[in-house]
Amino acid sequence: MGSLQVNSVRKAFGNHEVLKGIDLDVKDGEFVIFVGPSGCGKSTLLRVIAGLEDATAGSIRIDGQEVGAVPPAKRGIAMVFQSYALYPHLTVKDNMGLGLKQAGTPKVEIEKRVARASAMLSLEPYLARRPAELSGGQRQRVAIGRAIVREPKLFLFDEPLSNLDAALRVQTRLEIARLHRELKATMIYVTHDQVEAMTLADKIVVLSAGAVEQVGSPMELYNRPANLFVAGFIGSPAMNLIDAERLGEAGAKTIGIRPEHVSLSRESGEWQGKVVHVEHLGADTIVYLESEKAGLLTVRLFGEHRYAPDDIVYASPDSASIHRFDANGKAIR
């Protein structure tokens, strides 16, 4: 389908530099997700790739072709936005085929592509309906179908699930994952939701303040974060980050331990603490405790556990799962 190379891309709005020299290599057929907090530059980077924004410096190549001077319609991309951007007076079928019709594609070919996409997305019963007659999830599937029929080199998704409720987000996420497997297409996806990133991506690009913090597979980022930012951003509940000096640990500035790598006991352990809050989630129990030695700790226990506020407990980290960071926030390997 399509490969993508981003080399030293910068983007400034006046004196404000939003992208600060981005380098990225996306292989043919990869599902790559840009993730990071609001304002980190992930949507701007996607728009620069699409040609909706001009890069201030650097180059972008799609399938080896430099596209800096190529208009969006000629780049071989299809974009799915947060807003569905459907024409309310057109049917689902006509919305999906409109771009092809405007490009002069023969009617028989349009019918063929729309039929294929609607079958993939289970939209056949709704082809004669208009957007107002559809649910939010169905409208987003129409928007995805409109992208599929174009048979692009790159699919670009800009927070496509953020307008859906929780159940629909899960359902549509599964549909996008299935589509990627079926189409074997190259997909670039922007989200602030790390769950989407962890469950969909072949490769995650973590962005902060216009710079790439780390690139890797979901489990690489989870198990081997390159720095404090990635360690604190990836994972829910977030990693516990403790001043190493409080623990008497030499050679590190900060100690990190994931909540599921801390055990609790009522009898003994390394860090005594008092429970301040408990979240009973059924499959998990999340315990927050205040420890004089380690500070505020989050502990994730699998299954149901009967802890309550003001209980005195002892927390013990799994020594093999401890992360260490230097004074600059970089991981110590």
Determine which of 61-65, 120-124, 234-238, 321-325 has the lowest per-residue pLDDT on average. Answer: 120-124
Average pLDDT over residues 233-249: 93
* pTM (2 d.p.): 0.90
- CA-closest candidate to residue 143, choices 99, 194, 102: 99
Q: What is the mean pLDDT of the chain?
A: 93
Give the per-residue pLDDT at 151: 87
Confidence of residue 249 (pLDDT cuts 50, 70, 90): confident
Q: How many residues does the chain have?
A: 333
Identify any residues that bridge with 308 across adjacent strands, giving them in sequence order.
none
| Predicted pLDDT of residue 1 | 61
Crossing angle for the helix pair 92-102 and 136-148, nearest 10 degrees? 30
**What are the structural domains of the chain?**
4-230 (3.40.50.300), 241-325 (2.40.50.140)
pLDDT digits (tens, 9 = 90+) for 124-135: 999 999 999 998
Average pLDDT of the residues in 188-197: 91
Q: What percent of the chain has pLDDT above 70?
A: 100
Position 136 scores a pLDDT of 85
